[in-house]
Chains A and B, each alone.
Chain A
Amino acid sequence: MLSLAKTITTDVLVVGGGGAGLRSAIAACETNPKLKVTLLSKVYPMRSHTVAAEGGAAAVTQAHDSLQAHFDDTVSGSDWLADQSVVDYFVKHAFDELVQLEHWGCPWSRQPSGDVQVRRFGGMKTERTWFAADKTGFHILHTLFQTSLKYSGIQRLDEYFLLDLLVHEQRCYGVLAIDIASGDLVQIQAASVILATGGAGRLYQFNTNGGIVTGDGMALAYRHGVALRDMEFVQYHPTGLPGSGILITEACRGEGGILLNKDGYRYLQDYGLGPETPPGQPQNKTMELGPRDKLSQAFWHEQQQGRTIQHPQGEVVHLDLRHLGQRYLLERLPFICELAKAYVNVDPVKSPIPIRPAVHYTMGGILTDANCATSIRGLYAVGECASVGLHGANRLGSNSLTELLVFGKVAGREAARLASEPSQPAADSLLSTLTTQALAPLQQLHNSQGSERWQPLRQQLAASMEQGCGIYRSEAGLKETLTCLAQLKQRYQQLRLGDSGKAFNTDLLHALELGFGLDVAEAMCQAALERKESRGAHQRQEPGLTNRNDQDFLRHSLAFYQTRPGARIEWQAVDTSLSPPAERLYGGQRPRGQSSAGQQPTDNPPKESR
């Protein structure tokens, strides 16, 4: 029989030591220095996947840029599925947060004058992306982690695995966790809990995510009745390495890299992203700097037409950086040079890098309001695991690192506020009932006499998601994947562990992560099935569904957990109070009905041409 080894009591519990978790822990301390803030993470904070972000973080910085422009880019990038007051708040607070990080020591790249340097980024009309060479996430994460050491109010529980939330009648009382080193079960009581557990990219076969990005927090909130919003929107990054999926940052294209098919042709001009720009002279929102979804879709079409290149690890196209020259590459993209050499044995100075689309980012997540609060009192969510309403159907690169900071601060502040109010602690009897319930799945895994192993199940999950819920979707494909998921869930019941020890039982942790992943995958597929239109990262293949359909689907999907297979989907209105929906246009495209003679649009859709 499993039993608790210890109980910890705290005021604010932050689950997740990535950018979002660290930023919210610091904000909670600053809001009320008297509070006990506990930061729990299944890996040491600086191992969190924020560390892998390369490109940069966006905020309006230059005099000729404007908040309106950042707003417009984000809203049109989201294919009008972002909540506009949230976007408005975000763009207004972005700059201050990046400055805050600068004051904490982040080594942002600089201009000769000593001012912060900004770079171009896909889907952004103006240069507004701050960067620290090509290791922006790494520097942000280490700056936050090191700064967090200054706050004596923050107590860390490194290498603790969140097992379940303790929720009763829409109120969260804390969590149950495994101390990974000892295997001990620990109950943590908290007045407020912030989930900052990151995305779920590992549900797919080819992805740019680290092994820990398995959707744990999403699944737990979901199982306790919180909706997962907009889960059908999964961003493919157009440039991952074949095989591993390791990311080759968009900044390569921002700096002037070009994409070539097997004929050495810059195929993006055939997909509404032209006119062709001279190599090494990138133009915002055009060609290689078009948005990610369009670029990944273009790859898919090229592959269908047989114009991709065969590589030992699958079909690829080429990312050519050679014209940028060795000096520039080593100064601006040193990490990319290192990665390409190590993982595909290519020196970008001398040869083009083979690349293919890979799953990168989950736009959807745990539904929160603009204050990062979920429908459960005392439970907050922030960062990639959350859906605060910023990204809609497609996230713009470099908006999410800033999101971690802007909304991390909000989440920490709100959680601290709640924890500062007097409240009734849960009765011991209630906590012990909740704990017993939470232990049931673990008990079952330990006692199982089944014969299934998690590894093949996880492989089948990833392959099936790639197959049925990938760049292009169809009813038949989605239904097939949903059937597969239902079967995998059945087989999961027969799972048997290969490690019966307690200390560092990674076999057990991977099995639990797989269980979380199966639930999240189901929410994604069900929402994708019921969104019978194409918008942003969600593209349906069936005739009649290949376009955006605002009449029926200018709405968020909300997926609710149910014990029988599949999720229950509801729809929620989108906040379009500031900018009515218009077409998403890139490259030299003009809004429909507007002659090329340069007539100005009359309403206020963003002017995106050029």
Chain B
Amino acid sequence: MPTTEIRLQRYRPEQDNAPHWQDFRVEYDDSTSVLDALEQIKAEQDSSVSYRWSCRMAICGSCGVMVDGVPKLGCKTFLRDYPKGLTLAPLSHFPIEKDLIVDMSRFLAHLSAIKPYLIAEAAPKGKPYRQTPAQLARYKQFSNCINCGLCYSACPQFGLKPDFLGPAAIALAHRYNLDSRDQGKSERMAQLNSDNGVWGCTFVGYCSTVCPKGVDPAAAVNQGKIASTLDGVIQWFKPGKETSK
């Protein structure tokens, strides 16, 4: 089996003053993922290496890491694509807890802040709402977010200003705003319109490039800007310093 070199950023809070690099050599074949390589390192070389994972099928959103400086899911990134070796570091813009594990609490706080649940007066009794495939299609893409946080590592604004709601939270707000069953848009708009909402985005668009699930949060942010401009009442609250699109 061929082998390759992995440079891994280590940080153990109890013994390290600062992160540092450690090199490991791993075996790989056509199907070896970055996660598989980490498992190999943990099993055979250094069992103190720490990282998050569970599903190993790109759906639980646990395993985000920087691979050569690009945010990726470890379980869906393959060593075959890095024949010259690779570096692994924790997701950018989040505080590091240990090795590849970052503190996600701010991300979760942002998600919760936008009221990510259906807000509606009264649902039809004992039966589902009607929602046509076309109505479903309006928001479906934005409901596919696995909360991996890659887009936050890609977002320069979040890096500068951690209070910025960020791509995934805005996409999620947009998902509910577009849902034909929801009436909670006005409750969410206050957040979306604030300094930390859609207007915080300078439209770099890198968030959508790195998203492993095709959510296209940049589109959500952009559509959110249009929605908030069109929304007369809300427009009133809109901060003046609109940034370039």
Name which residue of chain B comes closest to A112, CB basis: B133
Known: A46-B61, A498-B48, A503-B98. A114 touches B56 (CB 8 A): no
CA distance A244 to B62 in the complex (A): 17
| B135 at the A interface (CB under 8 A) | yes
Of B14, B31, B126, B147, which contacts A99 at CB under 8 A?
B126
Q: What string of 1s and 0s marks CB contacts (under 8 Å) between A77-121 and chain B? A: 000000000000000000010010011110111111111100000
| B226 at the A interface (CB under 8 A) | no
| A51 at the B interface (CB under 8 A) | yes
Name which residue of chain B comes closest to A54, CB basis: B59
Nearest Cβ on chain A to B26's Cβ, whole angstroms: 15
Q: Are the C-beta atoms of A455 and B61 separated by less than 8 Å?
A: no
Of B131, B144, B179, which contacts A135 at CB under 8 A?
B144
Q: Are the C-beta atoms of A504 and B97 separated by less than 8 Å?
A: yes
Q: What string of 1s and 0s marks CB contacts (under 8 Å) between B5-48 and chain A? A: 00000001111000000000000011100000000001110111
Q: Are the C-beta atoms of A146 and B47 separated by less than 8 Å?
A: no
A339 / chain B contacts, CB cutoff of 8 Å: 57-58
Q: What string of 1s and 0s marks CB contacts (under 8 Å) between A16-50 and chain B? A: 00000000000000000000000000011011110
CA distance A503 to B16 in the complex (A): 12
| B127 at the A interface (CB under 8 A) | yes
Q: Are the C-beta atoms of A49 and B55 separated by less than 8 Å?
A: yes
Q: Are the C-beta atoms of B50 and A504 separated by less than 8 Å?
A: yes
Q: Are the C-beta atoms of A149 and B117 separated by less than 8 Å?
A: yes
Known: A52-B55, A503-B13. A110 touches B98 (CB 8 A): no
Of B59, B108, B123, which contacts A44 at CB under 8 A?
B108
Of B42, B46, B60, B101, which contacts A51 at CB under 8 A?
B60
The 5 closest A-B pairs by CB, nearest first: A498-B47, A114-B130, A499-B48, A105-B118, A210-B54
| A172 at the B interface (CB under 8 A) | no
Nearest Cβ on chain B to A300's Cβ, whole angstroms: 24
CA distance A92 to B166 in the complex (A): 43
Q: What string of 1s and 0s marks CB contacts (under 8 Å) between B106-121 and chain A? A: 0010011001111010
| A302 at the B interface (CB under 8 A) | no
Q: Show 24 A/B contacts (Cβ-Cβ < 8 Å), sorted by A.
A: A43-B52, A43-B54, A46-B60, A47-B52, A52-B59, A103-B129, A105-B117, A113-B132, A114-B130, A114-B132, A114-B135, A116-B128, A147-B117, A147-B118, A149-B112, A149-B116, A210-B60, A244-B31, A312-B29, A339-B57, A342-B58, A342-B76, A506-B51, A507-B42
B14 / chain A contacts, CB cutoff of 8 Å: 501-503
| B146 at the A interface (CB under 8 A) | yes
| A150 at the B interface (CB under 8 A) | yes
| B204 at the A interface (CB under 8 A) | no
- CB within 8 Å of B: which of A115-151? 115-116, 135, 138-139, 142, 146-147, 149-150
| B176 at the A interface (CB under 8 A) | yes
Known: A99-B128, A139-B143. A47 touches B116 (CB 8 A): no
B144 / chain A contacts, CB cutoff of 8 Å: 135
Counting chain A CB atoms within 10 Å of each CB, which of B62, B103, B111, B126 scores highest?
Answer: B62
A102 / chain B contacts, CB cutoff of 8 Å: 128-129
- Number of residues from B at the complex interface, CB < 8 A: 64
Q: Are the C-beta atoms of A110 and B133 separated by less than 8 Å?
A: yes
CA distance A313 to B116 in the complex (A): 42
- Number of residues from A at the complex interface, CB < 8 A: 62
Q: Are the C-beta atoms of A103 and B118 separated by less than 8 Å?
A: yes
| B242 at the A interface (CB under 8 A) | no
| B139 at the A interface (CB under 8 A) | yes
Nearest Cβ on chain A to B84's Cβ, whole angstroms: 21
Nearest Cβ on chain B to A583's Cβ, whole angstroms: 37
| A439 at the B interface (CB under 8 A) | no
B104 / chain A contacts, CB cutoff of 8 Å: 44
| A601 at the B interface (CB under 8 A) | no
| A271 at the B interface (CB under 8 A) | no
Nearest Cβ on chain B to A54's Cβ, whole angstroms: 9
CA distance A147 to B59 in the complex (A): 19
Q: Are the C-beta atoms of B179 and A105 separated by less than 8 Å?
A: yes
5 new A-B contacts, CB < 8 A, other than A108-B128, A110-B132, A247-B57, are A47-B60, A103-B129, A246-B57, A498-B46, A502-B14
Q: Are the C-beta atoms of B43 and A115 separated by less than 8 Å?
A: no
Q: Are the C-beta atoms of B130 and A103 separated by less than 8 Å?
A: no
Q: Are the C-beta atoms of A49 and B98 separated by less than 8 Å?
A: no
Name which residue of chain B comes closest to A130, CB basis: B128
| A181 at the B interface (CB under 8 A) | yes
| B188 at the A interface (CB under 8 A) | no
Name which residue of chain B comes closest to A108, CB basis: B128
CA distance A338 to B212 in the complex (A): 11
| A212 at the B interface (CB under 8 A) | yes
A109 / chain B contacts, CB cutoff of 8 Å: 136
| A376 at the B interface (CB under 8 A) | no
| B53 at the A interface (CB under 8 A) | yes
